[in-house]
Amino acid sequence: MTTTELLSSEQIIALAKKHLTANYTRYPVALVRGSNSWVWDAEGNRYLDFFPGWGCGILGHCPPRVVQAVQEQVATLIHVPNTWYTEPQTLLGQALGDRTDFGGLSFFCNSGTEANEAAIKLARLNGKSKNRYKIVTLTGSFHGRTMGSLTATAQPKYHVGVEPMLPGFNYAHFGDLESVAKAVDGETCAIMLEPIQGEGGVNLAPPGFLEGLRELCDKHGLLLILDEVQTGMGRTGKWYAYQHWNIKPDILTLAKALAGGVAMGALVARPEVAEKLKPGTHAATFGGNPLAARAALATIETIEQDGLLERAVQIGARFQTRFLGLKEKCPLIAGVRVKGAMIGVELSVEGAAVVQGCLEKGLLINCTHQTVLRLLPALTLSDEQIEDGCDIIADVLLNLKT
């Protein structure tokens, strides 16, 4: 079998079990088609998707302008190596840099973990002349699955079985400035964190924390690396989440929503910091290829032209109202955390049964950190879809057998 055939869900799942590694926990559903916030399985059942593409589908499934850009580009030039210049990559660098307020320079790769590997290397390259190489990262963080990003991920459960981890990472407590200050020593070159922790449970930094970290970095000559793989590209109502606070990072990492569902990652750094990335220091064969870059440009254009940063804020407010209302009636809800279209509902019980219950009623959601329902909806989600989906979540939660 070389091309896609019309198989049933049962056939696809049986073949997957035979031919794929078993490293993912998968639901027994085979998806075949998507449009905006809807997806369909092989039997034609339709699902409302509040978690499109694990945060990558910022415009939902198959957004028309991204589809058109990719269709045009795929017939023009798919990939050339970075020994040549291309217009899409260059224009994307300009678009990302212009949206930072520090004239950021871009390096492109293909995923979040790769963007963070680049950030770790760039921090070490900047610290080299002072013999500084250590990076402080925070409890509850998630930075990816390759060995550098995985070591940066200060959650021991992800390290089990693949130790020893890399040297040069010190862990401190998220939200606790004193703990971070204690973790910094004379060999530290950077502090790295997500401005809002995603996988860790949609954890917002307490007031003053990010500003305090910036001050700490300035005091000790450290770089501030913000992992915006999940929070970036409009997710929280600003192009980059750090723009909600009065701070600027030295290095920013992006992926997920960057190219509207096409695989792409990026590092964006202050020019004085980025200059250490000289020829030979770092590379990615597929990084910034014309196909992904055109998809990213179309994503940015759509967000801008359709006023979707403002829409992210409205979406967040509507979900917040619904979940705070539900919390009054449902003792299982312990907390609601929202920043734009990044939504976490903390439960007092494990959330897996809620995800399953929603799936059975045609709604796709996620649960992270065992007890936090996480929604990363498309910025194109309609009010009606929000209400319909929240009705399903309410129904499942209010009837949950605990």
Ligand X SMILES: Cc1ncc(COP(=O)(O)O)c(C=O)c1O
Residues that bind ligand X (CB under 6 A): 111-113, 116, 142-144, 194, 198-199, 227, 229-230, 255
CA distances from residue 229 to 141, 196, 258, 264, 276 in whole angstroms, order as listed: 12, 10, 8, 10, 22
Cβ 270 vs Cβ 53: under 8 Å: no
DSSP 66-92: HHHHHHHHHTT-----TTS--HHHHHH
**SS3 assignment, position 24:** coil
Query: CB of 192: closest distance to ligand X in angstroms?
Result: 10
User: In the complex, what is the shortest distance from the CB of residue 111 to ligand X, in angstroms, rounded to a whole number?
Assistant: 4
Q: Are 197 and 131 in contact (CB under 8 A)?
A: no
130: which residues sit within 8 A by CB, 6+ positions away?
Answer: 189, 221
3-class DSSP state of 213: helix
184 vs 254 by CB, closer to ligand X = 254
- Least Å from the CB of residue 230 to ligand X: 4
Which C-beta is closer to ligand X: that of 188 or that of 230?
Answer: 230
* Closer to ligand X by Cβ: residue 199 or 250: 199
Measured from the CB atom, the residue of 140 and 198 that comes closer to ligand X is 198
CB of 326 to ligand X, least distance (A): 26
Q: How many whole angstroms separate alpha carbon 220 and alpha carbon 130? A: 12
Residue 113 or 151: the one with the smaller Cβ distance to ligand X is 113
**CB nearest ligand X: which residue?**
112
Between 119 and 390, CB nearer to ligand X: 119
Q: Which residues pair with 106 in a beta bridge?
A: 268
Nearest approach, Cβ of 284 to ligand X (angstroms)? 13
Given the complex with ligand X, which of 149 and 385 has the nearer CB atom?
A: 149
| Buried b or exposed e, range 384-400, using 16+ CB within 10 angstroms | ebbeebbebbbebbeee
What separation in angstroms does the CA of 398 have from each of 171, 329, 359, 369, 391? 39, 8, 16, 21, 10
Instruction: State in angstroms the smallest separation of the CB of 42 from ligand X.
Output: 25
Rounded CA separation 66/69 (Å) = 5
Name the minimum Å distance from CB 383 to ligand X: 27
